[in-house]
Amino acid sequence: MLGSGLIRQSVSRAPVFRRFLTTANNKNVAFAFDIDGVLIKGSKTIPQAQEALQLLNNEKVPWVLVTNGGGKTERERVQDLSQRLGGIDIPEDQFMQSHTPFKRLVDLYKGKVLIVGGDGDDCRKVAKLYGFKNPVIGADIIRKHPSIWPFHRYRREEIEQWADPSINVDDGEPFDAILVFNDPRDMGTEIQIILDLLLSENGVLGTRRKTHTSRPSIPIHFSNKDLLWSNDYPIARFGQGAFKATIDTLYETTTEGYKLESVVIGKPFKETYDYAHNLLVKKFKENQNISSISAKISAPTVYMVGDNPASDILGANGYGWRSVLVRTGVYQDGADLQGAKPTVILDNVLDAVKYGLEN
């Protein structure tokens, strides 16, 4: 069936459902789920989401959540999501945000790091939790230099609440890197500060290097490049990918044609799938009562369930996972799949789980 190309079907047959309930424990299978457009959609919960995860828990089938969203700590996100899914237990080690792999950069960037995106100073809190010693946000810079972007949206009380007065942005110490954790809430301010640092002299704010090159003065990391994402509005909204496109275009224009070198993770990139794969293998061993971390196991067949062909499906296909595209989010029937054809297209996440267990 998998070799027959793209399959469009909805799995809801009760006899088949009963059959795989008795055999799921013997299946070498695991699941990875996107969140927005698969389990939730804006302020609403996808009706079949709770049942889908509960089924996997009952059958002890490993699963992880892999989202290109972020902006809060993993603990906050799983607590909120668990509540929205009727109390389903979501351990932190089964949950991965787009910026979760930034933890690996802590030992690389020990000085100032510009943290971009999220509400208020939430992403600074996440960065500190990951172990970054000197995270700086836009509010810190606006507090000292409000004219760096005179059209900033910060009110005085917000500066007082979010800016850290102990941070001296004029001490001559360079920034080590820029980490875009989440979609910016004040895009104009973030764009200006980012371009200032990319074009600075060795990462020192308020300076400008004399030569142009594709390599910026300091590295910039984007946690995902999703152009669109799904919420309550009937048409998909711009995401971090749109912000990245803006930065790329302005850098190229400012440098008279040099394309910005940057690091991008999140779906569909391999680093994110490596991270998710390791989480799944750990959970699979736990379910099989395998205590040795180094023990060899037969790699499970992994089904990635997502709503975005350009991230969920493209990434899963490239990593060798099977891909299930659902109709509850970004994707609409007839849309261009952009070279990212899934294993199957189904109506919702419960149909996806049934399909994976059956096959």
The per-residue DSSP string of 58-118 comes to HTT--EEEE-S--SS-HHHHHHHHHHHTTT----GGGEE-TTGGGGGGTTT--SEEEEE-S
Report which of residues 7 and 247 the model is more confident about. Answer: 247
Give the closest residue to 135 by CA, choosing from 119, 153, 122: 122
Residues 119 and 22 occupy one common structural domain: no
For 273, the 3-state DSSP assignment is helix
Residues 238 and 133 occupy one common structural domain: yes
pLDDT digits (tens, 9 = 90+) for 314-324: 999 999 999 99
Query: Tell me, what CATH number does 168's domain have?
Result: 3.40.50.1000
Give the whole-angstrom CA distance, residue 347 versus residue 131: 41
Residues 91 and 104 occupy one common structural domain: no
Number of domains within the chain: 2
For the cut 50, the answer to whether the pLDDT of residue 4 exceeds it is no
CB 145 within 8 A of CB 189: no
pLDDT digits (tens, 9 = 90+) for 196-231: 999 999 999 999 999 999 999 999 999 999 999 888
**CA 262 from centre of chain:** 17
Residues 67 and 137 occupy one common structural domain: no
The strand ranges marked E within the chain are 7-8, 29-33, 40-41, 44-45, 63-66, 95-96, 112-116, 134-136, 175-180, 220-222, 228-229, 237-238, 263-264, 301-306, 322-326, 344-346
- What confidence category does residue 3 fall into, taking pLDDT thresholds of 50, 70 and 90? very low
Give the whole-angstrom CA distance, residue 8 versus residue 309: 15
* 264-269: average pLDDT: 96
* 334-350: average pLDDT: 92
For 162, the 3-state DSSP assignment is helix
Give the whole-angstrom CA distance, residue 13 versus residue 175: 57
- What confidence category does residue 18 fall into, taking pLDDT thresholds of 50, 70 and 90? very low
Last-in-domain residue among 211, 246, 264: 264
What pLDDT, on a 0 to 100 scale, did the predictor assign at position 14? 36
* 325-351: average pLDDT: 93
Last-in-domain residue among 212, 235, 264: 264
Give the whole-angstrom CA distance, residue 152 versus residue 148: 9
Give the whole-angstrom CA distance, residue 168 versus residue 174: 11
Last-in-domain residue among 219, 234, 264: 264
Residues 71 and 147 occupy one common structural domain: no
- What confidence category does residue 359 fall into, taking pLDDT thresholds of 50, 70 and 90? confident
For the cut 90, the answer to whether the pLDDT of residue 113 exceeds it is yes
Residues 226 and 311 occupy one common structural domain: no
Give the whole-angstrom CA distance, residue 106 versus residue 315: 25
Report which of residues 287 and 58 the model is more confident about. Answer: 58
Residues 131 and 260 occupy one common structural domain: yes
Residues 146 and 258 occupy one common structural domain: yes
| Helices and strands in the chain: count of H runs, count of E runs | 11, 16
Report which of residues 281 and 82 the model is more confident about. Answer: 82
Residues 260 and 277 occupy one common structural domain: no
Residues 116 and 259 occupy one common structural domain: yes
For 222, the 3-state DSSP assignment is strand
Query: Cα 102–138–119 angle (5° rounding)?
Result: 70
Report which of residues 74 and 10 the model is more confident about. Answer: 74
CB 99 within 8 A of CB 179: yes
Give the whole-angstrom CA distance, residue 180 versus residue 221: 6
Q: Which domain holds residue 306?
A: 2-98+268-358
* 145-159: average pLDDT: 96
Residues 114 and 251 occupy one common structural domain: yes
What pLDDT, on a 0 to 100 scale, did the predictor assign at position 295? 55
* 33-58: average pLDDT: 96
Residues 175 and 311 occupy one common structural domain: no
